[in-house]
Structure formats: structure tokens, C-alpha cells
């Protein structure tokens, strides 16, 4: 005998999936490069926590404008991100796109 679960799910529609119009302005402008500001911070392809901050939701590397990283460190950062992508530590694309 097949047992049927009782279908009494009351889905409460309280979540609003409204898009925030001010998303673009949400980027905090940082004037100084984080890596220059704190020399203890190092760019490492294994350090996905740090690298993750410089990657968008879609997995793209965030631009210098958005993050305030200097040219020197942005170069290193981009290499580290690409390296960690190759090792599957970081995604090439966002999880929502899969
Ligand atoms: Zn820097």
C-alpha cells in the first residue's frame, strides 16, 4: 500500500523577491587598496575567503573601481583568482546560473 503524505502544506507567501533598485550604489567605495593598507593580507590562490570578496555573485572578478584595489594588487588578484578557478576552488560562474 502506498502511503500518501498529507497535503496540508500552507505555504506562507511572505517573502518578497523584489529587486533592490539601489543595488548599484551599494558598492562601498574604498579609496585605498586593501592589500596596501594592510600588508599582512596576502594574495593567495588557496585563500578563497579573501578572493571571494573580489568576485561578484556571478563569479566574475570585480573591477578595481568597485574594490579600490591598486593596479599592482589587482593583477596579482586576477592571477590568483584564475589559478584557484583552475583548481576548482572558485567557480567560473555563479551558482544561480547552473
Ligand atoms: Zn595595493
State the DSSP string of 72-93: HHHHHHHHHHHHHHHTTSS-SS
Is residue 3 in some structural domain? Answer: no
* Helix, strand, coil shares, percent, the chain, to 5: 40, 0, 60
Residues, Cβ < 5 Å to ion ligand 1: 33, 35-36, 70, 73
Q: What is the CATH number of the domain that holds 44?
A: 4.10.640.10
- Ligand 1 center from residue 59 Cα (angstroms): 22
Query: Is 63:69 a contact under the CB 8 Å cutoff?
Result: no
Tens of pLDDT along the chain (98 residues) come to 555 555 555 555 555 555 555 555 555 566 789 999 999 999 999 999 999 999 999 999 999 999 999 999 999 999 999 999 999 999 998 766 55
Residue 90's domain comprises: 28-97
The confidence score (pLDDT) of residue 23 equals: 52
Is residue 1 in some structural domain? Answer: no
Question: What is the count of structural domains for the chain?
Answer: 1
Is residue 46 in some structural domain? Answer: yes
Amino acid at each position: 500500500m502506498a502511503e500518501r503524505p498529507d497535503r496540508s502544506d500552507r505555504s506562507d507567501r511572505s517573502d518578497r523577491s523584489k529587486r533592490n533598485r539601489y543595488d548599484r550604489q551599494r558598492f562601498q567605495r574604498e579609496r585605498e587598496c586593501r592589500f596596501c593598507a594592510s600588508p599582512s593580507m596576502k594574495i593567495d590562490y588557496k585563500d578563497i575567503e579573501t578572493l571571494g570578496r573580489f568576485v561578484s555573485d556571478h563569479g566574475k572578478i570585480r573591477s578595481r573601481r568597485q574594490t579600490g584595489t591598486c593596479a599592482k594588487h589587482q593583477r596579482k588578484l586576477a592571477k590568483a583568482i584564475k589559478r584557484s578557478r583552475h583548481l576548482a576552488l572558485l567557480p567560473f560562474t555563479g551558482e544561480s546560473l547552473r
